Amino acid sequence: MAQFEDSFKAALYRITCPDSATLGNFHLGLLPDEAAAPITKHLTICPHCTQEIAQLEAFLAETAVSLQPSAAERIKVWIAKRITTQGEARDGLGTPAFALRGSDNGPLMYEAGDAQLSLEVQDDPEHPGRKSILGLVLGIETAQVEAKLLRGDVVETAVTLDDLGNFTFTNLAAGSYQLVVVGPTTEIHIPELTIK
């Protein structure tokens, strides 16, 4: 009988209970006063909602790290700097610093914070007249890292880095691109990449 009474009371409570979303908003202080007041009152008599709030609190504490807006601020953004390799024309000799001139000159090397990037432009064997880029990113964690090639604001192509930091773009037309490498904690930009 006591058990029946308990569950009967429980059912009664739940009929007048606010739904979970409302409770959540209440807990976060998002409800207007006139909506919050009856819930405050309800919580003083309802063990179920009190428990739900406690669970919500525990859940929020656990996930606090991922909910913090500062998660985005922790991403380091680097603008890659071109490293002039041996045997190459130095800047100021009439050659655009970022021009890709095929693989004869070896890969293009870049430095970005802790990371090093190497890009090798080749003729795409599967698409006559088009180019491919073989890329390699070193010095950063490469899990969940994506390499994107943009023209203006439009993402032309995007690929995921393999375990070793390799990526490949294929079937590229000549033109000016921007390369962005995006990971959970790192973002690397090569703002100007001209493929000839």
Is residue 17 a contact residue for Zn ion (CB under 5 A)? yes
CB of 13 to Zn ion, least distance (A): 5
Is residue 46 a contact residue for Zn ion (CB under 5 A)? yes
Size of the site for Zn ion (CB under 5 A): 4
Q: Which of residues 46 and 140 has its CB atom nearest to Zn ion in the complex?
A: 46
Stretch that binds Zn ion, among 43-51, 94-102, 158-166, 188-196 (CB under 5 A): 43-51
Q: Which of residues 19 and 33 has its CB atom nearest to Zn ion in the complex?
A: 19
Cβ(82)–Cβ(107) under 8 Å?
Answer: no
Q: Which of 23, 49, 121, 147 binds Zn ion (CB under 5 A)?
A: 49
CB of 53 to Zn ion, least distance (A): 10
Is residue 53 a contact residue for Zn ion (CB under 5 A)? no
For residue 123, give both structure tokens: 């003729």
Q: Interface residues with Zn ion (CB under 5 A)? A: 17, 46, 48-49
